[in-house]
Amino acid sequence: MAYQRVWFRPRILRDVSTVDWSTTILGQKSSLPVYISATALGKLGHPEGELTLTRAAAKTGVIQMIATLASCAFDDILDAAAPGQTFFLQLYVNRDREITRKYVQHAEARGVKGLFITVDAPQLGRREKDMRMKVVDEDAGAEVQKGHEVKKDQGVARAISSFIDPSLSWKDIPWFRSITKMPIILKGIGSAEDAVLAYEAGVQGIVLSNHGGRQLDTARSGIEVLVEVVSALRLRGYWPDPRFEIYVDGGVRRASDVLKAIALGATAVGVGRPFLYAFCAYGQEGVEKAIQIFRDEFEMNMRLLGAKAIKDIVPEMVDAKSLSSHFVMTPQDNLFQNTYQPLQLAKFQESKL
């Protein structure tokens, strides 16, 4: 819903006969300013799980972020890649740091181009719909948990995440820098203060995210945090800096959402649920179709904005003043309303006694 509180300020009478929405993310070429964000347990939605994303990404030139909690084995995903295909790795940090070190260094040896460390999940949030499911399908579980005891009475997410280290802190960043040469990005920043600390810690980027709205209730979305983060970095002379990139994930459903984030300072955005829906319903072809829809929308919206290339999308093209207010009237999001079903209230039958 936050994206609907950002309004476009289009420019006219510009030659937009050709437009180019390609970009680079951490120095890696991408056909879109979008990467496939890490999501767990792909085989819950499709028998081939994350491999559907890998093959679609290869055909469309989009970068895939591999989840620590993927259903498919890490090496199986890399083995299914096309020559030269780019991957990032999302990392949940294990209590056993030796396991984490081996995992990270193996990923680097296999050619992964960026390490995205999730920092907003020292404990999994109370995901009540998930908890109602309880049972974990062994065939669709996380590959990283195979061979370990898994509790099945608290929902899928909690069952597979017991290894995550809640002691992870800023003091661990130098250790990560010592074990890998991959760019390090902190995924799950929710405030300007932590964005500043991340820059000062020497990482190469941050992802502004509220973890899909499934961690801390009422935490702001990434797009809402973006404005204050850019302002705080600029105030200290840290921004713009080509050595430090900002990404946003959560709630992106249209190319127009992506363009709003870019105008406000993001390099690219992560998209998760839309690609999940696509491969759950239609497999690899569904993901390719979803990416094609993004392409068509980029072409249309960039022309209507008056931007020939990503570099032409500037802050003056959006009005984001409403983002600072959480009590405003916004257009109803029919896409959201039609996709997500609210929890149903229990209905009690009147007794005939």
Helix (H, G, I), strand (E, B) or coil at 340: coil
Catalytic residue among 46, 106, 148, 211, which?
211
118 annotated to bind ligand: yes
Residues 95-127: b if buried by 16+ CB within 10 A, e if exposed:
eeeeebbebbeebbebebbbbbbbbbbeebbeb
Q: Is 253 assigned a ligand-binding role in the annotation?
A: yes
Element (H, E) at 55: helix 51-60
Q: State in Å, rounded, how far the first CA of the chain is from the last one.
A: 48
Q: Would the annotation count 250 as a binding residue?
A: yes
> Which regions of the chain does DSSP assign to beta strands (E)?
7-8, 23-25, 28-30, 34-36, 63-66, 87-91, 115-118, 184-189, 205-208, 245-249, 268-271, 318-319
Count other C-beta atoms under 10 Å from residue 317's C-beta: 19
| DSSP bridge pairs for 50 | none
Residue 249 labeled ligand binder: yes
Q: Is 137 annotated as a binding residue?
A: no
Q: Are 50 and 77 in contact (CB under 8 A)?
A: yes
Query: Does the annotation place 209 within a ligand binding site?
Result: yes
Q: Is 54 annotated as belonging to a binding site?
A: no
90 appears as a binding residue in the annotation? yes
Instruction: Flag whether 39 is marked binding.
Output: yes
Identify the residue whose tokens are 């767990």.
Answer: 40
The response to whether 172 counts as a known ligand-binding position is no
Is 46 one of the annotated active-site residues of the chain?
Answer: no
148 annotated to bind ligand: no
Residue positions in the annotated binding site? 38-40, 90, 92, 118, 127, 187, 209, 211, 214, 249-253, 272-273
Residue positions in the annotated binding site for FMN? 38-40, 90, 118, 187, 209, 249-253, 272-273
Residue positions in the annotated binding site for glyoxylate? 92, 127, 211, 214
Active-site residues: which are they? 211
